[in-house]
Amino acid sequence: MAVTLRDVARAAGVSAATASRALSAPDLVAPERRELVRRVARELGYRPNRAARELITGRSGYLCLLVPDLENPFFAAVAKAVQSRARASGHAVVIADAEEDPRLEAELVAQLGAQADGVLLCSPRMSDDDLMTVAAGARPVLLVNREGAGLPSVVVDNRDGVRQAVRHLHALGHRRVAYAGGPAGSWSDARRRDGLQALGPDVEVVDLGAHPPAFAGGVAAADLVLASGATAVLAHNDLMALGLVDRLRARGVRVPDDVSVVGFDDVPVATLVTPALTTVAMPLARLGRTAVDLLLGPREPAAPTTVLPVELVVRGTTAPPPDTSEP
């Protein structure tokens, strides 16, 4: 049997109440007794029972993190940071993978979120209505990489990311740029499209439609790029950008000599290919840390939405367009 608070109290010759205070409200107990209790607790290897504590305090010590796909390096990076920051504040993290399924997502948050001290919804695919239902629960909920239902959220500046990428391509001489979009329901994808609208007339944008946010989606989009006549393509994320590069090359198109490619995220794999991917870097670890800080913060954040900056990282997949001027 595990050693309980009463065991500690008995061994220290004090009441359970005093033992409890000595450990969780040290100021309320006389210095010598406090130290005595703490020493005894350490010697006995006492670990407070989370369940009992939760029952009375209402706080479980657990945070719940929901992601669409743990194997996607974007979410893995956020999960790692969340986990690390949560530990620093004494919380364990229950991580649930919703398998890109909005229905499962809603079910999981209902099931797991009920007894968590806070819920982090990373890139949820569910509708604003479902988000609203979730928000109806009293526990704090925070959206990561998504806005909606008036919930507090932390996101990145998607529009600025698009602006930076296109500005870079424009400076290189590109005048016709394609956008290979992510899944239809993606909030961040919608924001990027907004950004493309707001660009002005210097660059013509060709919309290639929605694709699965993975390597295969990029492969599919590559053929559309060639048909579009664009000299550069912006992908919804790095995985798609990789698929684009691969397929373009397979069709005899040089990257970046013939077509430039820009990704989004700056996931570790972006540097594992040759040439390394030019991409709009998201502050993934910071996203995770900020999310925990806001969720656990003393009060609701002043602004419902916290926006983190992004930064274009120019590497090997962008270059001036081939010279097509008439001689």
Binding-site ranges for a second copy (CB under 8 A): 2, 47, 49-52, 54-55, 60, 62, 69-71, 73, 76-77, 79-80, 83-84, 87, 92-97, 99, 108, 110-112, 114-115, 215, 239, 242-243, 246, 249, 268-269, 271-274
* Closer Cβ to a second copy, 99 or 194, answer by number: 99
Query: Is the separation of the CB atoms in 120 and 79 below 8 Å?
Result: no
**CA–CA dist 115, 98 (Å, integer):** 18
Here the tokens at position 207 are 């919309």
Question: In a 3-state reduction of DSSP, which class is residue 159?
Answer: helix
How many angstroms separate the CA atoms of 289 and 142, rounded? 12
Q: Does 167 participate in binding DNA (rule CB under 7 A)?
A: no
Q: Toward a second copy, which CB reaches closer, 214 or 319?
A: 214
Nearer to a second copy by Cβ, of 97 and 266: the residue is 97
Q: Which is nearer to DNA, 17 or 198 (CB)?
A: 17
Residue 298 exposed, middle or buried by CB count within 10 Å (0-12, 13-18, 19+):
exposed
> Does residue 302 bind DNA (CB under 7 A)?
no
Choose between 54 and 160: whose C-beta lies nearer to a second copy: 54
Q: Which of a second copy, DNA, none does 195 bind, CB closer than 5 to 8 A by kind?
A: none
The CA-CA-CA angle for residues 103, 145, 255, to 5°, reads 105
- Using CB under 7 A, which of 11, 16, 216, 273 touches DNA? 16
Q: How far apart are CA 180 and CA 66, in angstroms?
A: 26
Assess 111 for contact with DNA (CB under 7 A). no
C-beta of 112: minimal distance to DNA in Å? 15
Contact with DNA (CB under 7 A) among 55, 171, 184, 272:
55
> How far is Cα 225 from Cα 237, in angstroms, rounded to an integer?
16
Q: Among 134, 143, 90, which Cα is nearest to 113's? A: 134
Q: Which amino acid is at 170?
A: H
ω into residue 275 within 30 of 0, thus cis? yes
Residues that bind DNA (CB under 7 A): 1-2, 4-6, 14-18, 20-21, 23-25, 28-30, 33-34, 46-49, 52-53, 55-57
